Amino acid sequence: MTDTEPSAGGAPRAPRRRFRVLRWILGGLGALVVLAVVGILIYSQVGVMRAEPDPLAEARANPGMTITEDGAGIVLSPTDGDTGRGLVFIPGAKVDALGYVATFADTVVDDGVTVVITRPWLNLAFFDPRPLSTFTDLAPAVESWAVGGHSLGGVRACQLASDADALVLFASYCATDLTASGLPVLSLSGSEDGLSTPQKIADAATELPSDAVFVEIPGASHASFGAYGPQAGDGTPTIDRAEVDRIIADELDTFLPAP
């Protein structure tokens, strides 16, 4: 009796065999998908870089800044009134959003800029499909919005830039061609950055408009753009973090478009 001949019960054997093979294949693919999802979940939660407690506590105690935490992000508002200017800031990969609160204290308090620090899904900006409006809606009084991000967060900011009035890269660069966008762009980087190195910043400059502004902060490393401690693979900073925060504030104040 061949595979295509009826069995004792009268049903052909070949269709049954093909069904079993298909079921095994689909089951194997399903298992691979489950393993991939579990792997991503584990990776996104292990080794998350948390905010350094002292800079965060100091920022929380600053009477000139109001901190409002939301599931979508953290809103830093100037207590004495804003200027109508805002920045949506996307954290680097696996960096807690609170690790950037201290970084923007000078920007908020001294220059009246509202900053919304997003909380990316799975701590990875690439897995967060939410539009820019999800975050700008958290501060409806702001009239002019820039979008920016640190490291991988900056790459994601480039993808959202068409919905903003300006783009700011913090130790980051674009993988999106914005050369014809006409968008004002500010690139802040560090001379001692071991991850988004000066060479990588220079190589990716061709993705930005020709009038993009580049500012390299002498002595700053990759982690100098936050307050979350040292980062593997980074260079050694030779500048105080508070000084980096001050330079960031000064550059943003000059660059951010008025409403």
pTM score of the predicted model: 0.84
* pLDDT surpasses 60 at 198: yes
Domain ranges of the chain: 1-46, 53-255
Give the integer Cα–Cα distance in Å for 254 and 118: 23
For domain 53-255, say whether CATH 3.40.50.1820 is its number: yes
Q: Print burial letters for 56-69: b (CB count within 10 Å at least 16), e (below 16).
A: beebeebeebebee
Tokens representing 105 are 């204290």
Q: Tell me the per-residue pLDDT of 125-181, one tens digit each, with 9 for 90 and over.
A: 888 999 999 999 999 999 999 999 999 999 999 999 999 999 999 999 999 999 999
- The set of residues, in sequence order, having a beta carbon less than 8 Å from that of 166 and lying 6+ positions away, is 145, 146, 147, 183, 184, 185, 186, 255, 256, 257
pLDDT at res. 126: 84
pLDDT at res. 82: 85
* Whether the Cβ atoms of residue 164 and residue 147 lie closer than 8 Å to each other: yes
Give me the mean pLDDT over the 181-203 stretch. 98
Q: Tell me the per-residue pLDDT of 93-115, one tens digit each, with 9 for 90 and over.
A: 999 999 999 999 999 999 999 99
Tokens representing 72 are 């979508």
pLDDT at res. 12: 58
